[in-house]
Structure 1
Amino acid sequence: MQKPVYKRIVLKVSGESLSGNNGYGIDAAMISSIAEQVKEVVELNVEVAIVCGGGNIWRGIAGSAKGIDRATADYMGMLATVMNSLALQDALEQIDVPTRVQTSIAMQQIAEPYIRRRAIRHLEKGRVVIFAAGTGNPFFSTDTTAALRAAEIEAEVILMAKNKVDGVYSADPFKDATAEKFETLTYLEVLNRNLGVMDSTASSLCMDNDIPLVVFSITEQGNIKRVVLGEKIGTIVMKGSVN
């Protein structure tokens, strides 16, 4: 068996990646593809936690811009992440990957409440844990949720799966043909250059807790496994200089 370089990971899946090429809603084929890739990693005896975004259904900031109270709009976004998490849980369990959804907002009929020790126990038993409903607080992104949960469960890395880009660029590669792709970055560079990898709160949390981040494309089948096995794809962001 190939030996993974990480034992416990947090996979951050954006809402947009769950919509496939549709740009909105949940694409069944894309959900199935992600589930299959996660299964490949679980079969390497890697403990996998997942944080789903909700941008394919609702964005709190966009809702606020339309006149909805920001806190209310953010709570609506948290509910969108729960919908995505349940869809991903279903896809995983259809291919025999035991999965638990834990929510930061209590909704006992459909998911467990987030309890750190219980989450770690699930991971130790080989179950995938999906953290839904963000941090449970408005004004915080799911990027921050990924950073926070990674610190809490002592994950070794955050894998940020993208569906449009294959790493971090100096500018938007779709708008600027001269945009340069970075192989390595530090969190200070990300913050100082405003590269938009993740929001500043999440970046600072990762930097303070020395949690590396790998940004890569999820559209190519098998990429999650490649990252876990240590293959150099995408962009790695770390606290200090990368050798």
Structure 2
Amino acid sequence: MAVQIDTDGMIIHARVRGARSQIIERGRRSVPITGIIVHQTDADTAASSLSSYTRPKANGAHFLIDTDGTIYQTAAIYQRTNHVGPLRARCLLTGSCMPAYGPKNSGVDAMHRIEMTKPPGDRYPSNMEAVGIEMVGRARLPLGFRDPDPRKQRSAEQLRGEFGVYDTPSAAQNQSLSWLVKALEDSMQIAPGEVFRHPDASRKNPTEAQGANWNLPVTAP
């Protein structure tokens, strides 16, 4: 299900609305696209995220999917954006990590540096190789939540950041996500196994995109 992509890297299709913000773009990619990272915005509306992408030094991903399933393209595919963060070790999933990951090299920066010495297929895709897809959804504290350590005197926002649980994506969001992932895989020759939730690839809230499903049946166009 390949789709038309113009020379700037913008999808030309009725299902995708153009909302490009060059502010979040960080220069043309120097290597091929090899994967997709699925995020949630930690915001209640698409409008708030689209607005944030217009602010100086803003970061964002290439696509934004609203709760009603509307797909916005917010950056050109051929442009790198900052949306992944320091990489986790992909080899931890299979137990195949080499001794490099001892106590001295298990920190965030050290792990990222080691991972970036590996070819893309042996690690998670970084900002340079990954297309980012955001889904509107906010992390919220569970009903009746109480700070497990009141002595730290954390603010409500700090508690939400640490203990918040992300909204479950809507059925319309997951249907659009499945369509978009399939379109990107077919158009950019991305392997199906190279689609990841943000907290799998980097050190993020583990509930982010936990309800994301990009494997639903889709039909063309």
TM-score (normalised: structure 1): 0.25
Does 1 or 2 have the higher relative contact order (CA < 8 Å, sep 6+)? Answer: 2
Which structure: larger Rg? 2
Q: Which has the higher helix share?
A: 1
